[in-house]
Amino acid sequence: MKNFTMVFGYYNDDFEITLETNYMYEATNEGEALSIASKLQGKECFSFQPFFAQKANKVMVRNSDNPYYDEVFVTEFKFYDETKGDYIQLDLGDGKFLYPCVNPICYVELDEIQFCEEITKYYKEKLLNNETLTFSSLSWGVKEVMHN
């Protein structure tokens, strides 16, 4: 058996974060882990509200009490930098194409300090009248947790 955890992607325009909890569960492989996670995903306790708090200059997460975990933390901070490349076109087959699609080379991983600096610059006008910026749910998945 292997240990897995769920990962959650959230975004606000060109800014993306990945959240994890300290909840782990066992599965024999990634397919089984996804099956278990899909049942857990429907539970209200895996619904988070991440936000950028301007005064604290930090990404924070609102979370409710639940029986599964007691910590939610940000594990990745990313920015989609359009200056790194053009949007791409995906060939769907049968002469059909999907455009514009995000270009993976445009994603830049940042540390928390850089992320907060960039989001503050990007939303300078919006943050004049608001203390927070919220992130919307983008995706979820699973990840194997390795123990030392």
117 φ, ψ (degrees, to nearest 5) = -65, -45
- pTM for the predicted model, two decimal places: 0.86
pLDDT digits (tens, 9 = 90+) for 42-94: 777 777 899 999 889 999 999 878 888 888 999 999 999 999 999 999 999 99
Other CB atoms within a 10 A radius of the CB of residue 137 amount to 14
Give the pLDDT of residue 9: 95
117-133 mean pLDDT = 84
Q: What is the tally of helices (H) and strands (E) in the chain?
A: 3, 11
34 φ, ψ (degrees, to nearest 5) = -65, -40
CA angle 143, 47, 103 (to 5 degrees): 55
> Which one-letter DSSP state was computed for residue 68?
S
pLDDT band for position 101 (50/70/90)? very high
Give the pLDDT of residue 148: 53
91 φ, ψ (degrees, to nearest 5) = -85, 115
Distance between CA atoms of residues 36 and 33, nearest Å: 5
CB 117 within 8 A of CB 108: no
- DSSP assignment of 25-42: EEESSHHHHHHHHHHHHT
Q: Which amino acid is at 36?
A: I
